[in-house]
Structure 1
């Protein structure tokens, strides 16, 4: 009887949800094929580097290497063998021709071990250049030196090398043209072994485990098909945690700047200080050294051995160096989760790299908690909010140290709470509601000035939920002023920092002259806006969803991006019975569109003034991620209340499709990052 009952239940399940289980089964097979087809990424032997010696101090350069200039650096091997020296050259981003000479010598025997030419056209500005030679064995404790010569190169047609400002590396010395510089070049000495990332057995076990976990998670989704806030957790938590771990350190967009800013906040340094070196803060040199160890080393696959070694770096908070961090202009409030993670890493592990990973983790946990609350409170368009909660761009940023993760989550919660007050079971707007609105709105307005118009969403709340028009106006002003006063206070406190120009921008940028140009040529600027929108808008749209979200540009498959876009358009247009609460006032659609256009105009104008040269005919520098906090307003504004969906099982279908998309993104990243 039990067997018959189970068979009947299984039959009814497959009958009622045949499309869902068909999609899950087909995707499972596709994932299996994808893993098998990319097995070589993990089981074919590859080079794995191990650091033998590392001099990472680099506060200055030696100047251009020209003429018969001769640079000699000595070092002592700390391991038994090595076969590679890595040197980052500065090319000034020029296309160079010619060669440097390179020679490696065993100091004890005065034997020339290796010589070769280094073609300048193979050097990449600021990136390590590998100089390989036959394996040198029995090297531990022995002294070696390498020499680089200019070979007659002329000024302006050559490169340079970074060096330390003082002699921190006591086992070696830097000599330029016979002169002891009392410092050292920045370089690494490496041993290299060849082996696969995983054995075939481990690869099979891990692959099967991930596939089974995927199937199990689809089953769990079925249980929570009518509870989107819980279904969100089933998809977001494993994907986000995986992103926290698998994306190489500082490969996230602007994560380096956010790393330094989160550390400043964790120490209570909220504002840049005026010092002899300029405006900035003194941070532990070990942070900068750790960044140097692991940043920009993953172009040809994740360097696990190098990252593992970097975990051994100690914080050493007494040894500090000056840093001018451009992210210091952002308020400390949006760095609280990252700072908490870094404080935890500092107290327990004393490791700068562990601080980074714990900062990522706590930032992701905060994103999950805030978005969970948004999905739970929003009374309408839950499917649309579910889609935005799982945007690849949002999840990837939440799994980094970026402040955008908190900004995106808080913006979603702010819109959700406004919709609750406007269309939910709220009879009267009370002080409690105002306090919550101000608390959420603070995160939105403080993050970037361009999002301030989002406060006008308050106008969606009907007049009937207030005592009278006077009460309506008073409470609107309380929210508006309550969010703006902290914004004004912060910017007044931070005025000196904001007045220093961002030296990373284009050299021809002049905000003051650009503002004057816009005021004197309004028609030209309007034309510039439309040209930018039509020429760059489509690429910014797919970028907003998450086409590329990292420095190394691991691309998300187009099918994932366009599935999200299609779903957002679909569930923006169609409505369920709860969504019909939104059709009462025609002006609401106009409010949404006005706020959307106002924020877009501010974003475009801010980039035009602060990033582009005066009178530029197109606005460059706009990234799709800037539109994530406001994009949902567009999809809310296109609702067609004549299209009503009465099939509640569509929730499970959309959850399954998006769940499959996110796992496809994870598999793609795993292959691309390790490829």
Structure 2
């Protein structure tokens, strides 16, 4: 007992600041959980899918005059109380009304009659029409109808429909004439119940707080082993984020979902069918996306997602689809594809495949970063902090290929630093082969990141037998990484030749290149104007201010805590690094490569995303800067500022863990709000 007391006194004396921060965060976290209890224990709507016609291939056109449309359907549940439609307003503020009616098909009895004001209809968002619950409905047919009155073109709305008769339990009629497709609609049963009982909420809250305290204790025990601390923080946070971010809510996750499935089937390139470019993917994958995407506008719809797990993969019925992520090489989708293969074998569920794809992508990210932290000889706390900023870790917990790109870029920089400053006396073929193996992921991911390979130039010539050997080995590295890049792009020429129809109108890469070459000063001005107007947003989005389609916001204190730590560890030199000289020329190389890639990213988006001659460069996102972030902060290194405080590690690990835990609690509330 006396020894235990002495240990506590020693901890408080030596590490009073980290434990004070931990105590404050624990107190405010407990208060935050309590204050937001209503989100979890008060009654809220829980939707159950009753009827689903999810095809939305085309629109009906404007609803004009006295047009009347009707959609019949059959119910296989006992109760329903909501119809979901999706209107298109053409971006206008329209005026007028639509008469909505729900009636029994057999008897013609009107169950609900409502007037819908066109001015209140949202554009391309789910619109709910509620009515008193209809009971004993199983096996019965019903009709939904919408009727306009003197609606004028240019001042009205439209609805989505399927092109073919994919829904067999009903039909669409317009002005009494049967149509080949069906209305895009859902019928739902709505219940009011809490997400968690009071007891369950208390247990979950206590479990989260215990997880926080337990991880802090483990971090303190492993504080001399930075790579182990990384695992203690990254694994639980990543696993929880993998589960709580709603399906397909991560940036471009739908495209990555389809691409991961293609790779899991060995389909590495698009095929040409009837002069169209794409691949055949199961309709059940498309249906899964339609069922659960964009349904979480007012909180995670757990019941709808749970129902989706029961749906099975139907590999026999497929649809030809152009997936723009198919232009990315299959290698960077290997973890996701492996997870989806396992999901297909074990669960045979498209949604389970998605979650397993996320999980394997996270495992790959954590494994690669773990290796980077083990080998990097300088700025280890900088690399640790970079690996745990919210954006890359959250991207890694999705199906995005950015997770592998970010991790391998960090590993490549760490490995080159290991060769330059580590205990490597002579660079041999094994070192070059390893660098090629890591570097080819960078070359394959995006062409703009290829200059990162020139980081090889920081390795002193003294580690080679001669200058000729130095040049030869650099040539091996560069050519070794470029060969897969060239091969892939030759295989992918068809896909690259077809324009991306999702980009802004007025985009013409060829004409934009001519504009930049003939008006270089204008381009420089537009580049500077873009940095001036959007530079601060770029930095905070790189750190993870908003990382999903619904833009769940990270607290500002988390973002600026990370920014402070990155700047601090970029500038100062740790005591263990005193014997490792970082030359001035090296800092120049770090900054030079960062600047070149930075400019290439902007130029690529100006050429391929922005309209010709646009005064602002569009499409730039902070996550594109993550692979080169380490180079920027390394360029800030100032060898005369040395940290000799051996207790600094636990303080920094504490701040990172507190930031991650704060972010996690914030997400749990935000996602369910």
Shorter-chain TM range is: over 0.9
Aligned to 1:339: 337
Alignment of 1:61-210 (within 5 A): 61-210=59-208
Aligned to 2:542: 544
Aligned to 1:35: 33
**588, 595, 598: which one aligns with 1:597:** 595
TM-score of the pair, normalised by structure 1: 0.98
**433, 436, 446: which one aligns with 1:448:** 446
Residue 582 of structure 1 and its aligned partner are, at CA, apart by: 5.1
Aligned to 2:624: 626
**615, 638, 641: which one aligns with 2:639:** 641
Aligned to 1:276: 274
Which deviates more, 105-114 or 387-396?
105-114
Alignment of 1:572-587 (within 5 A): 572-581=570-579, 583-587=581-585
- Which whole-Å CA distance do the structure 1 matches of 2:395 and 2:195 have between them? 27
Aligned to 1:253: 251
Aligned to 1:560: 558
Which deviates more, 471-480 or 501-510?
501-510
For residues 111-168 of structure 1, give each alpha carbon's deviation from its aligned partner in whole angstroms, at most 9, with x where no partner exists: 1111112222333333221011111111111111011123222223322222223323
- Which whole-Å CA distance do the structure 2 matches of 1:323 and 1:584 have between them? 51
- Give the secondary structure class of the aligned counterpart of 1:271: coil
For residues 390-436 of structure 1, give each alpha carbon's deviation from its aligned partner in whole angstroms, at most 9, with x where no partner exists: 01001100000000001000000000000000000001111111111
- Which whole-Å CA distance do the structure 1 matches of 2:578 and 2:255 have between them? 45
User: Does the 8 Å contact 2:545/2:555 carry over to 1?
Assistant: yes
Verify: 1:478 aligned to 2:476, yes or no: yes
- Give the secondary structure class of the aligned counterpart of 2:131: strand
For residues 536-558 of structure 1, give each alpha carbon's deviation from its aligned partner in whole angstroms, at most 9, with x where no partner exists: 11110000000000000110000
Aligned to 2:291: 293
- Give the secondary structure class of the aligned counterpart of 1:660: helix
- Which whole-Å CA distance do the structure 2 matches of 1:185 and 1:206 have between them? 42
Which deviates more, 111-120 or 438-447?
111-120
- Which whole-Å CA distance do the structure 1 matches of 2:515 and 2:616 have between them? 14
- Give the secondary structure class of the aligned counterpart of 2:642: coil
- Give the secondary structure class of the aligned counterpart of 1:627: helix
**226, 229, 234: which one aligns with 1:228:** 226
User: Does the 8 Å contact 1:84/1:192 carry over to 2?
Assistant: yes
Verify: 1:218 aligned to 2:222, yes or no: no
User: Does the 8 Å contact 1:384/1:571 carry over to 2?
Assistant: yes
User: Does the 8 Å contact 1:48/1:303 carry over to 2?
Assistant: yes
The alpha-carbon distance between structure 1 residues 15 and 182, as it changes in their structure 2 partners (threshold 3 A), is same
Alignment of 1:191-590 (within 5 A): 191-276=189-274, 278-581=276-579, 583-590=581-588
Residue 277 of structure 1 and its aligned partner are, at CA, apart by: 6.3
For residues 351-399 of structure 1, give each alpha carbon's deviation from its aligned partner in whole angstroms, at most 9, with x where no partner exists: 0000000000000000000000000010110000000010100110000
For residues 638-674 of structure 1, give each alpha carbon's deviation from its aligned partner in whole angstroms, at most 9, with x where no partner exists: 1111111111210111000000000000000000000
- Which whole-Å CA distance do the structure 2 matches of 1:223 and 1:450 have between them? 41
Structure 2 residue runs of 5 or longer lacking an equivalent are none
- Which whole-Å CA distance do the structure 2 matches of 1:372 and 1:584 have between them? 23
- Give the secondary structure class of the aligned counterpart of 1:360: helix
User: Does the 8 Å contact 1:338/1:360 carry over to 2?
Assistant: yes
- Give the secondary structure class of the aligned counterpart of 2:195: coil
For residues 477-522 of structure 1, give each alpha carbon's deviation from its aligned partner in whole angstroms, at most 9, with x where no partner exists: 0000111111111111111101111111111111111110000011
For residues 61-110 of structure 1, give each alpha carbon's deviation from its aligned partner in whole angstroms, at most 9, with x where no partner exists: 22222112211111111111111000122333333322222111112221
- Which whole-Å CA distance do the structure 2 matches of 1:121 and 1:436 have between them? 62
- Give the secondary structure class of the aligned counterpart of 1:583: coil
- Which whole-Å CA distance do the structure 2 matches of 1:605 and 1:619 have between them? 8
- Which whole-Å CA distance do the structure 2 matches of 1:324 and 1:64 have between them? 28
- Which whole-Å CA distance do the structure 1 matches of 2:638 and 2:460 have between them? 20
- Which whole-Å CA distance do the structure 1 matches of 2:75 and 2:579 have between them? 73
For residues 159-178 of structure 1, give each alpha carbon's deviation from its aligned partner in whole angstroms, at most 9, with x where no partner exists: 22222233232221111121
Which deviates more, 338-347 or 93-102?
93-102
- Give the secondary structure class of the aligned counterpart of 2:114: strand
Residue 17 of structure 1 and its aligned partner are, at CA, apart by: 1.4
User: Does the 8 Å contact 1:423/1:581 carry over to 2?
Assistant: no
- Which whole-Å CA distance do the structure 2 matches of 1:260 and 1:479 have between them? 33
- Which whole-Å CA distance do the structure 2 matches of 1:571 and 1:163 have between them? 56
Which deviates more, 155-164 or 533-542?
155-164
Residue 581 of structure 1 and its aligned partner are, at CA, apart by: 4.8
User: Does the 8 Å contact 2:255/2:323 carry over to 1?
Assistant: yes
- Which whole-Å CA distance do the structure 1 matches of 2:166 and 2:515 have between them? 50
The alpha-carbon distance between structure 1 residues 522 and 182, as it changes in their structure 2 partners (threshold 3 A), is closer
For residues 268-314 of structure 1, give each alpha carbon's deviation from its aligned partner in whole angstroms, at most 9, with x where no partner exists: 11111111261111111111111111111111111000000111111
User: Does the 8 Å contact 1:379/1:578 carry over to 2?
Assistant: no
CA RMSD in angstroms comes to 1.2
Residue 18 of structure 1 and its aligned partner are, at CA, apart by: 1.4
The alpha-carbon distance between structure 1 residues 93 and 581, as it changes in their structure 2 partners (threshold 3 A), is farther
User: Does the 8 Å contact 2:164/2:180 carry over to 1?
Assistant: yes
Residue 186 of structure 1 and its aligned partner are, at CA, apart by: 1.5
- Give the secondary structure class of the aligned counterpart of 1:10: helix
- Which whole-Å CA distance do the structure 2 matches of 1:332 and 1:497 have between them? 14
User: Does the 8 Å contact 2:421/2:581 carry over to 1?
Assistant: no
- Which whole-Å CA distance do the structure 2 matches of 1:455 and 1:652 have between them? 34
